[in-house]
């Protein structure tokens, strides 16, 4: 599998009609999925991809959980968007998550828009869900993944790893099914969405819902798309994924293709042009309602509150080996929040490691070149695999 870094390539999706998702690899869950909100979903489809061979004992499976805007293609190109693997430095032959040693599985989350059942999918009667889709939680996403992994005939996972919202799923896996996870790597994540996190995502949701093309959530049935609102949502969120020092290093107040400010509202500054590009390229590959549902799931995530108000209770007696990573300049999910999770895991008597990587790349550092991070992941996984009896 060729996994060259192609993250900045934009996909061939220029028009308003979404290409068919039917070509993607999918599995339909054998039973209805009960949700936290009290409703249940029938015939849930999970879109997924795999790399590397499953061993005879079925003990070398690694589940990769994606972030808010990610998909099931961490280690290979997305055939629909043409975008390259989003974790090419971490997963692949000879990489820290070595596909010659591990069977890597990635799914699109419940509520997502890359083939898994979500608000852009059709109801049993054929009409698109839109905002009639039930509100889902991170725990629901993990329940769907668990049913999916069961359906694959895999009893336990060697490892679950993921960054940002993917890290929330990792924690939730360890809480829901500690006996099925040997080691867990929550990366650049938090056990609890802060007021600031909720605030930024609420700005994004309001931008989407203020777009007249949103049509109260039923734009698919009306043949429209709230691209402007979704682009603004992406722009606002993107600011929180990068650090002030990285913005200064890359853009500062530099002007975009001009010698002086234009006394207009054009994108005079490079940072404006960059953010507009981020917004524009995002709407080609993401569904606005999915953005509402998935950000809501993150807002509702509070592991401690879900366990009697004490985070340590969520992990009491857990046999899972944890390894947390945080990044010094991440102000979206700051290292202090990873340290709080570490404190809870220590209090619960769980085997935990936590490394804070020094970087100026902000929250997105987990997706970028960070040799210290990559080496530490490789070391932890190799040592854990030897403890699990997996050949090198």
Partner 1 sequence: MSARADHIAIVSRIPAGARVLDVGCGDGELLGLLRESKGVDARGLELSSDLAGKALARGLSVIQGDADSDLDIFPDDSFDVAILSKAIQQMRDPAHVLSQLGRIAPEVLVSFRNLGRWPRRLQLLSKGRMPAPPLWHDSDALHPCTASDMVSLARELGLTTQAMAPVDDGVVGKFRNGGLVRLNWSADEVILHLSR
User: 302-313 burial, b for 16+ CB within 10 Å, e for fewer?
Assistant: bbbebbeeebbb
What 3-state DSSP class applies to 346? Answer: helix
* Contact indicator for 189, 214 with CB cutoff of 8 Å: no
Q: Count Cα neighbours of 42 within 13 Å in the Cβ-side half-sphere.
A: 4
Asked if 13 is part of the footprint of partner 1 (rule: CB under 8 A), the reply reads no
Stretch that binds partner 1, among 1-9, 27-35, 192-200, 354-362 (CB under 8 A): 354-362
Return all residues near 28 (Cβ < 8 A) that are at least 6 apart. Answer: 43, 44, 45, 46
Asked if 388 is part of the footprint of partner 1 (rule: CB under 8 A), the reply reads no
Stretch that binds partner 1, among 12-20, 106-114, 165-173, 348-356 (CB under 8 A): 348-356
What 3-state DSSP class applies to 291? Answer: helix
Asked if 323 is part of the footprint of partner 1 (rule: CB under 8 A), the reply reads yes
* 328 carries an active-site annotation: no
Contact residue for partner 1 among 58, 123, 180, 343 (CB under 8 A): 343
Q: Is the dihedral of CA 178, 193, 250, 258 positive or negative?
A: positive
- The catalytically annotated residue of 140, 268, 330, 364 is 330
Q: Taking the complex as a whole, how short is the minimal distance between the CB of residue 338 and partner 1, in angstroms?
A: 10
Q: Which residue in 53, 52, 56 sits closest to 74, CA to CA? A: 52
Q: Count Cα neighbours of 301 within 13 Å in the Cβ-side half-sphere.
A: 29
Q: Taking the complex as a whole, how short is the minimal distance between the CB of residue 38 and partner 1, in angstroms?
A: 37
* Contact indicator for 299, 292 with CB cutoff of 8 Å: no
Asked if 219 is part of the footprint of partner 1 (rule: CB under 8 A), the reply reads no
Asked if 42 is part of the footprint of partner 1 (rule: CB under 8 A), the reply reads no
Contact residue for partner 1 among 376, 389, 390, 391 (CB under 8 A): 376
* 211 carries an active-site annotation: no
Nearer to partner 1, 261 or 387 (CB): 387
Nearer to partner 1, 79 or 349 (CB): 349
* 363 carries an active-site annotation: yes
- The C-alpha atoms of residue 294 and residue 9 are separated, in whole angstroms, by 24
Residue ranges binding partner 1 (CB under 8 A)? 321, 323, 339, 342-343, 346-347, 349, 351-358, 372, 375-376, 378-380, 382-384, 386-387
Q: List residues with catalytic annotation.
A: 164, 330, 363
């Amino acid at each position: 599998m060729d996994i060259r870094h192609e993250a900045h390539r934009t996909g061939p999706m220029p028009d308003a009609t979404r290409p068919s998702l039917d070509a993607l690899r999918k599995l339909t869950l054998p039973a209805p999925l009960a949700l936290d909100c009290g409703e249940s979903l029938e015939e849930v489809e999970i879109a997924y991809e795999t790399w590397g061979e499953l061993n005879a004992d079925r003990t070398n499976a690694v589940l990769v959980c994606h972030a808010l805007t990610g998909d099931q293609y961490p280690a290979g190109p997305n055939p629909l968007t043409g975008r390259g693997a989003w974790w090419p430095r971490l997963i692949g032959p000879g990489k820290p998550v070595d596909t010659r040693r591990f069977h890597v599985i990635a799914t699109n989350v419940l509520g997502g828009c890359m083939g898994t059942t979500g608000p852009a999918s059709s109801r049993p009667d054929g009409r698109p869900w839109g905002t009639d889709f039930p509100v889902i939680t991170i725990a629901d996403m993990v329940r769907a993944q668990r049913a999916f992994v069961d359906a694959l005939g895999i009893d336990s996972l060697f490892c679950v790893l993921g960054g940002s919202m993917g890290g929330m799923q990792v924690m939730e896996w360890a809480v829901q099914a500690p006996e099925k996870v040997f080691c867990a790597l929550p990366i650049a994540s938090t056990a609890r969405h802060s007021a600031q996190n909720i605030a930024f995502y609420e700005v994004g949701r309001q931008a989407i819902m203020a777009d007249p093309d949103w049509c109260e959530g039923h734009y698919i049935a009306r043949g429209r798309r709230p691209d402007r609102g979704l682009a603004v949502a992406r722009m606002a969120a993107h600011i929180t994924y990068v650090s002030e020092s990285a913005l200064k290093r890359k853009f500062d107040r530099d002007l975009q293709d001009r010698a002086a400010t234009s006394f207009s509202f054009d994108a005079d500054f490079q940072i404006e042009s960059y953010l507009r590009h981020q917004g524009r390229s995002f709407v080609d590959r993401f569904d606005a309602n999915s953005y509402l549902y998935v950000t809501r799931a993150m807002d509702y995530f509070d592991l401690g509150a879900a366990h009697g108000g004490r985070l340590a209770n969520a992990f009491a007696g857990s046999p899972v080996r944890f390894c947390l990573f945080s990044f010094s300049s991440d102000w979206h999910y700051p290292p202090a929040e990873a340290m709080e999770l570490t404190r809870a895991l220590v209090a619960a008597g769980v085997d935990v490691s936590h490394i804070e990587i020094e970087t100026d790349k902000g929250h997105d550092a987990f997706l970028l070149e960070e040799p210290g991070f990559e080496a530490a992941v490789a070391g932890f996984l190799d040592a854990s695999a030897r403890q699990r009896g997996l050949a090198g």
